[in-house]
A = this chain, B = another copy of it.
Amino acid sequence: MERLRTLDGEAKLITHIGAVLGWDQETYMPPAAIEERGDQLAYLEGLAHEKQTMPEIGELLAALGSTGENPEGDTTLSPMDRAYLRIMRRNYDQATKVPTELVSEMAKATSLSQAAWAKARSGNDFPAFEPHLQKMVDFNRRIADCLDPSGKPYDVLLDRFEEGGTQAGIAAVFNPLRDELVKLMDRIRSRPQVNDDFLHRHCPEADQAKASSYLMKILSYDLERGRLDKTAHPFTTTLGVSDVRITTRYVEDFFPSSVFGTIHESGHALYELGMGPAPEYQRTSLADAASMAVHESQSRLWENMVGRSLGFWKNHLQEFARMLTPVLDGVSIDEYYRAINKVEPSLIRTEADEVTYSLHVILRFELEAELLSGNLAVKDLPGAWNERMQAFLGIVPPDDAKGCLQDIHWSMGAIGYFPSYALGNLYGAQFWDAMKDQGFDPAVAVENDNLGAILTWLRANVHSAGAVYKPGELARKVTGESLDASHFMRYLNEKYARVYGF
């Protein structure tokens, strides 16, 4: 076990080194260094892959009784050691089961596909992208087949991001969610729209930066172990167990972009900084997120359930108005609360509000599953996309650039990732209700400006567990029930009844 952790830790260390280079590339690297940086990152990726696929790891796993059928190994081992074997078996199989030739063949095709996608999007030319997307779908089928020839392809791909998740299980959660969201949207549409004009007042970057620092501080994001920088696209990155950094983007005529972006990324960072099931597992794959969806639950819980709540702004709007003077002059707490929670069906997922966001994601989940199964032909994607946009959101993109070409994911061959974006909302709301069930009301904590209590609960129940439990198990362990959408829907219905007054 010790030796396994050492080998794993070495791969982790290399990954962290790569994260330093990646962070630098996005923040401060001089432009002309880009090509060489690519070589440096490729070298580190190769090195990490070499470490992750060392035959010795396979031998150690086998010696400890871990197999494909029984990944957790010998029953005499401690539960944590068994969880570790499960994760290591999973990572090892995923890294070794797909032949190197297929990986590099796909890498080449992906690079062409991404270029073709960028061109097709700017030229609004889906047919030019179509053959590339077809290839990406085909590659995904081959990969699924390598990983588990007996599994349902979409389930196999999904499992890489949401361990133990299945298409059927997710559909069972997403279908009622979709119907409820469409109903909620109808109700919202029947009410007068809120006014958020003042959110678009000019707000200098320096003031927004001060606001971001303020937010990080009240969220207890420890700047001894992290930092905030400015990039074109916001992200969180882990450069070490004690070095998790976030970035944000400043839009001078829409300060909420940085405000909620900073809270969102801080949520991710707090999760990363809180991981650690046990000291001996500190720098191992057990100190990883339970899943991408659980990661997203942490960012969105802080961004939306805390950061877009009335209680939060009752405590902080005054200080904000001071920092951002004169942007919020004359804006009441009620006006502000409604503005930051404005709902409006829009064409672009990444700009969507809390209500419509999940609908964008469900649409993609349904379509990518159908593409993979062959129920939907690639050439029919634009039509299917537009139909579902009409059905879910009541709007139709004027062109494919703002339609099925908007996201980069499929062009990168990433199929199975999209559900995470919406599952995160569900995990978050379910954790929130679990706090209440356990006698601690997080909404009251927010009102009392006691955010630390929420973090403490998340640390104890979610963060520290790392990847010990599969995400579905984690939900059951922490909340006492399987993941379902009712918590999230109750939260939305209550909140938006207030925001829109129905």
Contact = CB atoms under 8 A, between A and B. Distances in A.
A243 B30 contact: yes
Q: How many copies does the complex hold?
A: 2
A243 B20 contact: no
Nearest to A224: B32
Contacts of A502: none
Contacts of A197: none
A40 interface: yes
Contacts of A28: 28, 227, 229
A394 to B, nearest CB: 46
Interface residues of A, number: 35
A30 B241 contact: no
Interface string A20-58: 110110001111110111011001100000000000000
Nearest to A222: B32
The main secondary structure of chain A at its interface with chain B is: helix
A385 to B, nearest CB: 40
Contact of A225 (B33, B40, B226, B239): B33
Given A20-B20, A21-B20, A242 B13 contact: no
Contacts of A182: none
Contacts of A14: 43
A237 to B, nearest CB: 12
A414 interface: no
A36 B241 contact: yes
A459 interface: no
A28 to B, nearest CB: 6
A229 B16 CA distance: 23
Given A13-B39, A17-B17, A37-B243, 17 more contacts: A14-B43, A16-B36, A17-B21, A17-B40, A20-B40, A24-B24, A29-B243, A30-B243, A32-B242, A32-B243, A33-B225, A33-B242, A33-B243, A35-B242, A36-B240, A36-B242, A36-B243
25 contacts: A13-B39, A13-B43, A14-B43, A16-B36, A16-B40, A17-B17, A17-B43, A17-B44, A20-B20, A20-B40, A23-B24, A28-B28, A28-B227, A29-B243, A30-B224, A30-B226, A30-B227, A32-B224, A32-B242, A33-B239, A35-B242, A36-B241, A36-B242, A37-B240, A37-B243
Closest 7 CB pairs of A and B: A33-B243, A36-B240, A32-B242, A32-B224, A32-B225, A33-B242, A31-B224
